[in-house]
Structure 1
């Protein structure tokens, strides 16, 4: 079986949710792949050095390297490791996660071509980024969706006596958590018994800002901090609407999980979201940073039970196709195909 080095943010701390490396890696292990990982170092420079050292130390024993590729500072990890792999004549596959990678393609075209033109292939979890890369002239972009084990997400029938909103994400400016508070404030005018729970770690200090905004508007909001997946899945039974407030997104796993759990999703219409949710068919999409629009969407779900039930049912059927049973063959194909080969 192939020996794989997975490069990514293998962190386990209070300020980060599970990353791709922590989800896909164990699934590949269970399929018999020999997996190595880098890096769990919290300091970014030490993390990069650990990635480089691990690649150098193991390269003679490796068949391929997977590289989680983001659009922020972590983009440089992909740049360094991809070029090191080229020097070592080692195949690598970037996995395109960054919702703002389109900006990187424009701002750093030479570096982008160094990474993505020389890879074995480029894996995009979202059709949105696949289209972005292909429109920018990049070849060999294959679509492998973010995956879940559907058995871990029990489909629940919920009580819709009052809106009980659930938000699950890191508290970060790009995810616009303040919008959840502004939506909640407006919703209270129509549904005084509405509630809001916000789950996730504080990534950049936004949590204090959100708490202050809730206090300013005299709102009682439940903040749980970071929860393990089983914990928030269990908690989700007490809520009946999932809200996604982000200003920038790709294919968020938390939204896929909400769809699997039978939570109707109201999301901002940004980035890859319309490629995941078809408005009015399996969820509702509204303009970003628009509390009134999001509030109206939530209320519409309560005013039309038939429409709500159809959205929920369609969403569950859609994400059942993301089950690992169906996705693992796509990864097997990507990992085994020849460089530059046809992976469609």
Structure 2
């Protein structure tokens, strides 16, 4: 099978991109032919075959300077003619059997769905966030969990100014989502894949993709992931450093508990985090180095303050044989079983997080056994073979 993966960024920027490249590698091992389409970017993986067809890079956070730049960016968010044209040319050259979309919002827009429909190619989309139900992606209002747009429609975002407290930015996102719904811009997607039951429930409550949403959990390729061999280590955070990830809460918890934390990743909140003697920053690491850092830990912290979908940080920690302390939001409680392979704590609660991390570090043998339980969980329930079978079924359903 010839699979064309479409994502706005084509480098390991976060969990969505990690999943994209890992699944593409699994598909190639299984004998599929894989190609990529996305936005032109200096950090994109080298050697992308169809890069000449990629639309030009546009940065939206912060917005482009000047009135003209902002108007052009807004127009591209709603409908990108360059993305549609580039994907049409890529489809003509690669001739895929299916197009598998990921995060295509804003920089690519649903114009890429129209390109697939015009070419007669079926489309499957993996949902990595809540964008189709919440214009600002995150189901957050001023940093707090919110489902107003899920139950009341996308124009709630404009009324609440929930995008960074900005009325203009919130209105733009609300209008964008309203227009896409009004003109059924996403209807060309045959199957919407939700990696968690929580996300699938949000889409169903929002009336998005009725009858087209199916749950398929992300895989962990543990055959190529060495597990932690002996007890020991400290606390590690691995992921994109953004406000919703709660890394500031983790640093505060580390100070309360008197423990050190290693932070691997990059992102827009990096410069705002407090620099203390308890926090060591490693930046964005290559995959092998990241896994080595995780294996050196006794526990991985996922202190998110938003409704996580199914974060790869948890699955990779389990694959490395390391337990996880995470918050009780979104899909996280579907992954972590307290007392078995980690602990679940309230969000934005440094004291509770500190206590949970302390309990884990106080008995490293127990922590090691919990990590082994996590490894067993992903071996049994998150296998690549099962995931590929689920993807193929979704591809066939979309066709």
Q: Secondary structure at the match of 1:326?
A: helix
C-alpha distance in structure 2 between counterparts of 1:112 and 1:69, whole Å: 17
Q: 1:290 to 1:184 in 2, by over 3 A?
A: same
Q: 1:233 to 1:31 in 2, by over 3 A?
A: same
Matching of residue 97 in structure 1 with residue 97 in structure 2: no
Structure 1 length as normaliser, TM-score?
0.82
Please tell me whether the aligned partners of residues 322 and 372 of structure 2 are also in contact (alpha carbons under 8 angstroms).
no
Instruction: Kindly tell me the number of residue pairs found equivalent between the two proteins.
Output: 320
Alignment correspondent of 1:197? 262
Point out 4+ residue stretches in structure 1 off by more than 6 angstroms.
Answer: none
Alignment correspondent of 2:146? none
**Aligned ranges for residues 26-37 of structure 1 at < 5 Å?**
26-37=25-36
Q: Can you list the C-alpha shifts for 1:266-316, whole angstroms capped at 9, x where unaligned? A: 012222212222334432111111100101111222456686455334322
Matching of residue 173 in structure 1 with residue 234 in structure 2: no
Please tell me whether the aligned partners of residues 9 and 21 of structure 1 are also in contact (alpha carbons under 8 angstroms).
no
**Aligned ranges for residues 58-77 of structure 1 at < 5 Å?**
58-60=90-92, 61-69=95-103, 74=105, 77=108
Please tell me whether the aligned partners of residues 124 and 141 of structure 1 are also in contact (alpha carbons under 8 angstroms).
yes
Alignment correspondent of 2:341? 282
Identify unmatched segments of 5+ residues in structure 1.
189-193, 340-344
Please tell me whether the aligned partners of residues 67 and 92 of structure 1 are also in contact (alpha carbons under 8 angstroms).
yes
Q: Which has the higher contact order (CA 8 A, sep 6+)?
A: 1
Please tell me whether the aligned partners of residues 5 and 36 of structure 2 are also in contact (alpha carbons under 8 angstroms).
yes
Alignment correspondent of 1:146? 218
Q: Can you list the C-alpha shifts for 1:217-236, whole angstroms capped at 9, x where unaligned? A: xx242211110111111122
Q: Secondary structure at the match of 1:197?
A: strand
- Select the residue among 271, 275, 281 that pairs with 1:208: 271
Q: Secondary structure at the match of 2:237?
A: strand
Q: 1:86 to 1:100 in 2, by over 3 A?
A: closer
Please tell me whether the aligned partners of residues 116 and 122 of structure 1 are also in contact (alpha carbons under 8 angstroms).
no
Matching of residue 337 in structure 1 with residue 368 in structure 2: no
Q: Secondary structure at the match of 2:115?
A: helix
Please tell me whether the aligned partners of residues 99 and 271 of structure 1 are also in contact (alpha carbons under 8 angstroms).
no
Of 163-172 and 249-258, more deviation after overlay is shown by 163-172
Alignment correspondent of 1:224? 282
Q: 1:253 to 1:220 in 2, by over 3 A?
A: same
Alignment correspondent of 1:325? 385
**Aligned ranges for residues 305-320 of structure 1 at < 5 Å?**
308=367, 311-320=370-379
CA-atom RMSD, angstroms? Answer: 2.8
